[in-house]
Amino acid sequence: MAGGLFLFSAVDTQAKFLTDSLDPIQIAWSRQLGLFIGVLILLALRGRSVLETAHPWLQIGRGALAAGSAALFILAVTYVPLADAVAVSFVAPFMVTVMGAVLLKEHVGPRRWTAITIGFVGMLIVIRPGLGVFHPAMFLVLVAASLFALRQILSRRLSGSDRTVTTVAYTALSASLLLTLPLPFVWQTPAWGLELGLLASIAVMAAVAEIMVIKSLELAEAVVLAPVHYSLLIWGTIYGWLIFGELPDEWTWFGALIIVATGAYTLHRERVVKAKANPPR
């Protein structure tokens, strides 16, 4: 999981670098390309049985959410520092909890509701609307985080009926095809050398990262692995400083620490609730 998130952060950094010359949709399409090719190879080896699903429309919807969240996040980091965008994106676990309560009727106790509320206060400290430091592109990060959270909810819904490989295949195919539709209208031929090399790097790294994250989820429970997600802030800060000369200010760090602390507590409470519901025999 840590290795996958390290690679995803590298992908985001390269994507932000390329937004100076290429459209975010084209970059997001390249981000899906490696996994798309991998799924085509998988289909050639295993056949169409990989695509057998009880919920085809939910699978396609998950792919659409993946495409939308990736494109919006890349568009957002065109205008805002990478570390700030990553910090705000950490509201996704809270949104998963809220959506789980609303859509899946999962029980959420007062402690987790309190943690969610404090976490959103931390987000407001990071973006500071009305204080002259807020950039409208932060709304794109919030929408991307919402789409990512809804994607996680669909993953929970599909996990009881479909195999992981089926979900990955549908996500790769549908996200790539959906991003291909607007591609002719925004396409710019990348220059040989740096641009083409970075697009190829994004495709390969994103595919490897996706596989690593999926494998980690097969080996351990999501609630155990989820805190590792916060390592993205470390990598985002390091990459932002090294490549773009961007460093978060003290208020961004303060807000991010609140989000991380409350997020970790929310995950801890989820683990406690699951342990009580499934006591060891």
Between the alpha carbon of residue 69 and those of residues 24, 89, 150, the distances in Å are 12, 11, 10
- At 183, list the tokens: 């591609």
Q: Are 177 and 33 in contact (CB under 8 A)?
A: no
Judged against a pLDDT cut of 80, whether residue 13 lies above it is answered with yes
As a whole number, mean pLDDT of residues 155-180 equals 86
pLDDT class for 279, splitting at 50, 70, 90?
low
Determine the pLDDT at residue 197: 93
Q: Compare 109 and 154 and report the one with higher pLDDT.
A: 154
The radius of gyration of the chain's CA atoms, rounded to the nearest angstrom, is 19
Q: Are 256 and 90 in contact (CB under 8 A)?
A: yes
pLDDT class for 108, splitting at 50, 70, 90?
confident
Task: Round the average pLDDT of the chain to a whole number and report it.
Answer: 82
pTM: 0.79
Q: Determine phi and psi for 160, rounding to 5 degrees.
A: -80, -15
- At 94, list the tokens: 């809270």
- At 164, list the tokens: 């992981």
As a whole number, mean pLDDT of residues 214-239 equals 74
pLDDT digits (tens, 9 = 90+) for 46-105: 888 889 998 999 999 999 998 999 899 999 988 888 878 887 787 777 777 777 777 767
Q: Determine phi and psi for 248, rounding to 5 degrees.
A: -65, 145
- Helix, strand or coil, per DSSP, at residue 135: coil
Q: Are 136 and 13 in contact (CB under 8 A)?
A: no
Determine the pLDDT at residue 132: 55
